[in-house]
């Protein structure tokens, strides 16, 4: 049975995950998307690595584990964070968060396609709900004069990359703790993002950043890659599948609501309807998997 403390931490985590989408959108007003990812991810590696080391877990991988760690980092970190941040530059924050959270449905579908996992009635229901949500938001972007339908595709690529990474991570034989694996995936991903940012974007004008920008970057580094990850790992082993489902279901709704206050986005009725369909899809997809999801 989930305790009051666990329930409180789960609620806090859900709010943090949901608010992260408009906070990222806020950061992109003054920094390029690749530099944003590079800076916040590298800072998060330092914080999360220190937290893992303080817990006494083995952090250093063996030489033969670097290649598998890189193979896991590419979909879990690079693919997910690259495609989602590009999609976020094209779409409102709340809408981007809704589309990104089709990832549990993609996990079920890719698991069936690549690893012959059975498709249950819950999986079919999840797929139908996700399809309705994506169709609603995709149609909105196609029919709006300033719409950007390619943003929908970028977010679906991000969700599919996350799903593939999840499936590979579950089958990984690396004998490190999940926390240590995450630290090294983030470290490798951070290096890749630094290279991409240095190649494709000008150096960020840090001395010209506003106080709001600094606050948003601190959020991205400390809250998203630091505190949120620490809370999740502290809860993950104790959470039931139902509790994990609850946390994922609520994130798109929090994202849509918080975007109103953080970046002054006014959600449309279709956004709320799509968010509800994604919540239903997550519930069905996670129930069909029967295990805990990861953020």
Residue 97 in domain: yes
Domain count within the chain: 1
Residue at 294 is within a domain: no
Do 293 and 245 meet the contact criterion of CB atoms below 8 Å apart?
Answer: yes
Q: Which two tokens stand for residue 175?
A: 């004998």
Supply the pLDDT for residue 1: 65
pLDDT of amino acid 247: 66
Q: What is the structure's pLDDT at 290?
A: 46
In a domain, 75, yes or no: yes
What is d(CA 105, CA 238) in angstroms, rounded to the nearest whole number? 23
Q: How far is CA 153 from the centre of its chain?
A: 16
Q: Let me know if residue 295 belongs to a domain.
A: no
> 55 is in which domain, residue-wise?
4-289
pLDDT on residue 122: 85
Q: What's the confidence (pLDDT) of residue 283?
A: 83
Q: Which tokens go with 43?
A: 């800072």
Residue 230 lies in a domain: yes
Mean pLDDT by 10 residues, the chain (295 residues): 80 92 96 97 96 90 95 97 97 94 90 89 90 92 81 96 92 91 96 98 95 96 93 73 66 93 93 94 70 44
Under 8 Å CB-to-CB from 108, ≥6 apart: which residues? 117, 119, 123, 126, 127, 285, 288, 289
């Amino acid at each position: 049975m989930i305790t009051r403390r666990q329930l409180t931490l789960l609620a806090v985590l859900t709010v943090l995950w949901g608010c992260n989408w408009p906070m990222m959108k806020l950061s992109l007003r003054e920094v390029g998307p690749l530099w944003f990812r590079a800076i916040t991810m590298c800072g998060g590696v330092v914080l999360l690595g220190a937290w893992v080391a303080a817990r006494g877990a083995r952090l250093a991988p063996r030489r033969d584990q670097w290649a598998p760690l890189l193979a896991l980092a590419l979909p879990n970190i690079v693919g997910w964070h690259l495609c989602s941040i590009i999609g976020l530059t094209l779409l409102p924050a709340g809408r981007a968060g809704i589309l990104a959270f089709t990832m549990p449905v993609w996990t079920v579908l890719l698991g069936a396609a690549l690893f012959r996992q059975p498709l249950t009635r819950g999986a079919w229901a999840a797929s139908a709900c996700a399809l309705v949500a994506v169709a609603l938001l995709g149609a909105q972007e196609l029919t709006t004069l300033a719409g950007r339908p390619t943003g929908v595709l970028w977010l679906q690529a991000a969700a599919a990359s996350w799903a593939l990474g999840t499936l590979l991570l579950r089958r990984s034989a690396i004998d490190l703790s999940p926390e240590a694996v995450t630290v090294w995936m983030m470290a490798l991903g951070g290096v890749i993002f630094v290279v991409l940012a240095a190649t494709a974007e000008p150096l960020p004008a840090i001395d010209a950043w506003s106080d709001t920008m600094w606050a948003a970057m601190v959020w991205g580094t400390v809250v998203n890659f630091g505190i949120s990850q620490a809370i999740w790992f502290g809860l993950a082993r104790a959470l039931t599948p139902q509790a994990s489902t609850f946390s994922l279901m609520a994130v798109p709704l929090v994202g849509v609501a918080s975007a109103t206050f953080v970046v002054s986005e006014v959600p449309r009725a279709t956004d709320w309807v799509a968010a509800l369909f994604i919540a239903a899809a997550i519930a069905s997809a996670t129930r069909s998997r029967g295990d805990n999801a990861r953020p």
